[in-house]
């Protein structure tokens, strides 16, 4: 009889608990704090607000200044940071426009400072909607050739986005510091690379994280499995995961590769 009462009580209370529990989403308060800091101190580029229809998020738009416009780049930062992060993101978003690439660096979903990669699975589905909004903004501004460039966790979100059926929206993908978080296929660059046939630049540092270096061969094998002959893997000797002090070689490699693939995309139209 007691077990029956406990069971009945659980059934009655459970719907109330589920109704009261907040839906886990990107830390909006943290995003707002980042945004206030960025907007107040921004020198290069223009701060804009994008929307997924459910969430508003910050982007930094930097229009190309070259005599020849090549296309647009959506930039996605790594875990827990912001679209003006000094490592990797800032050098790319400010230097690529000098060479014909308009950049749109976007705030990706973030959690509290102690959150690990596994924790991000709970908000993973917010990533594709933000990427879609960024691509739509560039298209609205007349930019048709759009590449995705992601660093670390941002690269995993971008590769999953492309592997899930969005390849027609981009001409190329650059993954910087990619690893193989193989505890879930959504976070595994290796799993995604088996399904991506777009031109891919897999770029990493010679002193990168162990998880990046240990999966170099696996990423290359995955690209071969997809039949992707336009997969290129580049190691920048001496660079760490954040390319500190190696920003110029990083930008040069990414820019040169994007330029070549923009030409190919134009010829294939």
Query: How far apart are alpha carbons 249 and 238 in whole angstroms?
Result: 11
Residue whose pair of structure tokens reads 């009462």 in the numeric block: 5
Which CATH number is associated with domain 27-267?
3.40.50.1820
For each of the chain's 269 residues, which pLDDT tens digit applies?
A: 444 434 433 333 334 333 333 346 898 999 999 999 999 999 999 999 999 998 999 999 999 999 999 999 999 999 989 999 999 999 999 999 999 999 999 999 999 888 888 899 999 999 999 999 999 999 999 999 999 999 999 999 999 999 999 999 999 999 999 998 888 899 999 999 999 999 999 999 999 999 999 999 999 999 999 999 999 999 999 999 999 999 999 999 999 999 998 766 655 55
The rounded distance, in Å, linking the Cα atoms of 147 and 158 is: 10
- Pinpoint the alpha helices (H) of the chain: 2-20, 28-41, 89-95, 126-140, 153-161, 189-193, 210-213, 216-225, 247-267
Domain chopping of the chain, boundaries = 27-267
Q: What does the pLDDT read at residue 221?
A: 98
Please give the pLDDT value at position 117: 86
At residue 144, what are phi and psi to the nearest 5 degrees?
Answer: -100, -35
pLDDT at 16: 37
User: Quick one: pLDDT at residue 30?
Assistant: 92
**How would DSSP label each residue in 10-49?**
HHHHHHHHHHHSPPP---HHHHHHHHHHHHHH--SSEEEE
Give the Cβ contact number of residue 89 at 10 Å: 25
- In this prediction, residue 229 carries a pLDDT of 94
Name the phi and psi angles at 16, rounded to 5: -70, -40
Half-sphere exposure at residue 256, Cβ-oriented, CA atoms within 13 angstroms: 9
Q: What is the Cα Rg of the chain in Å?
A: 20
Residue 262: predicted pLDDT: 77
Q: Measured at the alpha carbon of residue 257, what is the angle toward residues 228 and 151, in degrees to the nearest 5?
A: 80
How far is it between the farthest Cα atoms of the chain?
82
């Amino acid at each position: 009889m007691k077990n029956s009462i406990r069971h009945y009580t659980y059934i009655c209370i459970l719907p109330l608990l589920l109704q009261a529990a907040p839906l886990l989403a990107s830390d909006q308060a943290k995003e707002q704090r980042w945004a206030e800091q960025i907007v107040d101190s921004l020198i290069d580029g223009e701060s804009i607000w994008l929307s997924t229809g459910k969430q508003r998020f910050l982007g930094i738009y930097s229009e190309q200044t070259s005599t020849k416009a090549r296309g647009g780049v959506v930039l996605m930062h790594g875990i827990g940071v912001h679209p003006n992060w000094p490592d990797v993101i800032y050098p790319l978003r400010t230097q690529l426009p000098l060479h014909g690439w308009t950049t749109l660096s976007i705030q990706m979903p973030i959690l509290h400072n102690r959150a690990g990669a596994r924790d991000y699975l709970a908000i993973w589905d917010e990533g594709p909607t933000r990427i879609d909004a960024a691509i739509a903004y560039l298209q609205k501004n007349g930019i048709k050739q759009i590449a995705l460039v992601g660093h670390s966790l941002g690269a995993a979100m971008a590769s999953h986005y492309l592997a899930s059926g969005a390849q027609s929206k981009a001409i190329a993908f650059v993954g910087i510091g990619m690893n193989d978080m193989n505890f879930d296929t959504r976070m595994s660059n290796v799993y995604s690379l088996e399904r991506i046939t777009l031109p891919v630049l897999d770029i990493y540092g010679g002193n990168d994280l162990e998880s990046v270096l240990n999966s170099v061969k696996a990423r290359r094998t995955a690209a071969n499995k997809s039949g992707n002959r336009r997969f290129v893997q580049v190691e920048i000797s001496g660079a760490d995961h954040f390319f500190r002090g190696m920003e110029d070689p990083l930008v040069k490699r990414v820019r040169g590769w994007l330029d070549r693939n923009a030409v190919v995309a134009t010829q294939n139209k």
